[in-house]
Amino acid sequence: MKKKFHLSNLYLILVFAVLYLPILYLIFYSFNAGKTMDKFTGFSWQHYLTLFADTRMISIVINTVIIAVLSALIATLIGTFGALGIQQLRKRSLRNCILSLNNVLMVSPDVIIGASFLIFFTFLGIKLGFGSVLLSHIAFSIPIVVLMVLPKIDEMSQVMIDAAYDLGATKWQALTRVVLPAITPGIFAGYFMAFTYSLDDFAVTFFVTGNGFSTLSVEIYSRARQGIDLEVNALSTLMFVVSLLLVGGYYALTRYNESKKIHRARAAEEEISQ
């Protein structure tokens, strides 16, 4: 047993090394005083200063964040009500069929999805730019939200909803005061996943950008084709730090909600015992 345990630990170390060493290498050279990654010539903040002085890059960062926030928000709203609608379906075959259709965007290659959106927007005469990118990100984020929210709906007890109706609650009151609070962790998870997918998407965005509009992934790709630019390293480092903060915030929020539920349960048990 001990041998298997040590081997499993070694395997995990190797996996994390493969995943994180390139990122650490990138972060390390973002502080290089030189202009290449061939040799570390000394510690410097110059690439971060250059990044913050680059008005075009700052504008692209703002565009990317706006797209990610809006697409995740709209996709979360649509995906949550979509998951509620799927859960209400009585026919199991119809439900499985809709779930399969929902998962098509999850398993389809991004290149095909991006090309499909490009053809679709061209056919409708929609100009490529902010609107086309936003619509595309909403479309491929909705299935993610559905997959995050639906398990929480399935875990929810139908007894609570029936009790709300027995106490005179309307459908809207049951939804807002019983259902939505119960599935809030799934909604937050869906939002953060949609936000992350939108933030780092390249393949789909590459097909539907135009009219001078660009996002971080497309801009980084364009600059990387021209050669190594340590300003990109600095930008990638900041994005990595922000991602860690978002993950840490979500984890802290989840722990807080769990501790709050435990505290309420204990308080209820004490009241019953008294």
pLDDT digits (tens, 9 = 90+) for 103-136: 777 778 888 888 888 898 888 888 888 888 999 9
**pLDDT (0 to 100) of residue 70:** 94
Residue 36 lies in a domain: no
Query: What's the CATH number where 79 sits?
Result: 1.10.3720.10
Residue 264 lies in a domain: no
Residue 245 lies in a domain: no
In angstroms, the CA 269 to CA 274 distance is 9
- Extract the residue ranges of the chain whose pLDDT is less than 70: 1-6, 227-228, 268, 271-274
Residue 76 lies in a domain: yes
**pLDDT (0 to 100) of residue 75:** 94
- Number of structural domains, the chain? 1
The residues facing 43 across adjacent strands are: 32
Residue 95 lies in a domain: yes
Hunting for tokens 């590459």 — which residue is that? 206
Q: Minimal CA–CA distance to 199: which of 257, 232, 240, 250?
A: 240
**pLDDT (0 to 100) of residue 242:** 81
Task: Tell me if 81 sits within 8 A of 121, measured CB to CB.
Answer: no
Residue 40 lies in a domain: no
**pLDDT (0 to 100) of residue 183:** 85
Residue 128 lies in a domain: yes
Cα–Cα separations (whole angstroms), residue 228 to 216, 238, 255: 16, 17, 41
Cα–Cα separations (whole angstroms), residue 23 to 30, 107, 238: 11, 27, 12
Q: Minimal CA–CA distance to 200: which of 161, 243, 252, 231?
A: 243
Task: Tell me if 79 sits within 8 A of 99, measured CB to CB.
Answer: no
**pLDDT (0 to 100) of residue 76:** 94
Residue 164 lies in a domain: yes
- Number of residues that this document lists for the chain: 274
In sequence order, what E strands does the chain have?
none
C-alpha count within 13 angstroms, C-beta hemisphere, residue 252:
6
**pLDDT (0 to 100) of residue 274:** 64
**pLDDT (0 to 100) of residue 5:** 56
In angstroms, the CA 126 to CA 155 distance is 41
Give the range of the structural domain holding residue 195, as residue numbers without chain letter. 55-228
Task: Tell me if 180 sits within 8 A of 84, measured CB to CB.
Answer: no
What pLDDT, in 10s, does the model give residues 146-170?
988 888 888 887 777 778 777 777 7
What b/e readout covers 89-100, taking b as 16+ CB neighbours within 10 angstroms?
eeeeeeeeeebe
pTM of the model: 0.78
In angstroms, the CA 185 to CA 80 distance is 12
Give the single-character DSSP code of 108: S
In angstroms, the CA 28 to CA 25 distance is 5
